[in-house]
Structures are given as structure tokens and as C-alpha cells.
Amino acid sequence: MKGISIEERAINLAHYIIETKETVRGTAKIFGISKSTVHKDVSERLLKINPALAKDVRKILEENKSERHIRGGMATKMKYLNRKKAG
């Protein structure tokens, strides 16, 4: 994402999260930046740039946050299923 402004990056991240319903962690991995940067861009910077877009992203992030315990449980389940298959 080199060569673009911070504002453009924040908008690109927001659109990606809205379109894919991706998590901050997943978005960071795809764009090759830190989770902190993604979070700051879509939570703080985007509010100043485009408040309506920031509101839409906030909805997705809140939804992801409410589901994280389910995702964690599924990840643990898969971990142990894979160990069982390998062992």
C-alpha cells in the first residue's frame, strides 16, 4: 500500500472490511500492515475523513467482536481435530 496517502488507505481498508466483513486481524494480514494501524485508520482517522463510512465499518467491527468467542471456539476445535488426525 505504498504510495498512497493515509486517508486513501483508511478509505480502502474501510471498503474492504465492509465488502468482505473481514476482521481487523484478517484485514491487516491482507494489506500487510499491523492490526493497530488498521484499527486506528478505521476507528479514528476515518471518523474525520468520512463519518458515514466510519459508522458502517463500526457496525461490522462490532458484529465481529460479538462473534469472536465463537471463532475462538471453532479454531480450538479444529486444532484438536487436526491433532487427532495426525496422531
Residue 42: domain span? 6-86
Residue 1 within a domain = no
The pTM of the full predicted model, rounded to 2 decimals, is 0.77
Listing DSSP states for the chain in one string gives -TTS-HHHHHHHHHHHHHHH---HHHHHHHHTS-HHHHHHIIIIIHHHH-HHHHHHHHHHHHHHHHHHHHHHHHHHHHHHHHHHHH-
40-83 per-position pLDDT tens digit: 999 999 999 999 999 999 999 999 888 766 676 777 878 877 88
Closest to 60 measured CA to CA, from 30, 6, 28, 15: 15
Whole-number pLDDT of residue 1? 61
Residue 13 pLDDT grade (very low, low, confident, very high; cuts 50, 70, 90): very high
CA distance 67 to 44: 23
pLDDT of residue 68: 67
For the chain, the domain total comes to 1
